[in-house]
Amino acid sequence: EAQVTQNPRYLITVTGKKLTVTCSQNMNHEYMSWYRQDPGLGLRQIYYSMNVEVTDKGDVPEGYKVSRKEKRNFPLILESPSPNQTSLYFCASSLYATGNYGYTFGSGTRLTVV
Amino acid sequence: GESVGLHLPTLSVQEGDNSIINCAYSNSASDYFIWYKQESGKGPQFIIDIRSNMDKRQGQRVTVLLNKTVKHLSLQIAATQPGDSAVYFCAENSGGSNYKLTFGKGTLLTVNP
């Protein structure tokens, strides 16, 4: 089944403890992206990747890192999480880095930082 | 399930009625638009898309209308069913070197049996 898989689905952590949210897609998509979703603010892009080893900042990159060593994986790293990073996170992928193709989203990761 | 749509515009309809969800987009240069459906506890799911060289596109029970003059997009759902209850987002490809979709805030559709 074609899908984007995120793990974990739920995570509660403490301020300052490094964590990684994994994202993997099995569709050979070039483009991958991370979004966070907050009430009243909608979906906001954190980072994106046009292809392997090509990543760049989105609208709200502060406090996050990403890597794209393989085409299928795009992990989101929080080096020192803070309570304002409590949010619902979505990984998404798209067939190509340019052109008009919709995103396929993962099921989300609910992160709580205390 | 998660609450992903606090403070959202809401639309409440009776089962079997037609629903119309509206969206105003921001960038007159956007050339591609998508409607997504998000059910509680799930990621957004693609419903239908439309390119800027069209003003209407139909799918199964759904129709998207695009009015570029006033930068307005609408999603029509025919014979709305309880399973259509969800938050609906419009998204636009605002162009640039980053193929980024910019999402609207969403509308919560509730279908009453």
For A52-78, the pLDDT digits (tens) are 999 999 999 999 999 999 999 999 999
The shortest CB-CB distance from A42 to any of B2, B98, B105 is to: B105
Higher pLDDT, A75 or B95: A75
Residue A97's pLDDT band (cuts 50, 70, 90): low
Contact flag A40-B103 (C-beta cutoff 8 Å): no
Contact flag A102-B34 (C-beta cutoff 8 Å): yes
pLDDT > 70: percent of chain B: 89
d(CA A43, CA B9): 16
Contact flag B89-A110 (C-beta cutoff 8 Å): no
Kindly list the residues from chain A whose CB atom is less than 8 angstroms away from the CB atom of residue B103.
Answer: 35, 42-43
d(CA A114, CA A15): 6
The two three-digit tokens of residue A110, written as one number: 């609910």
Instruction: State mean pLDDT over A24-40.
Output: 93
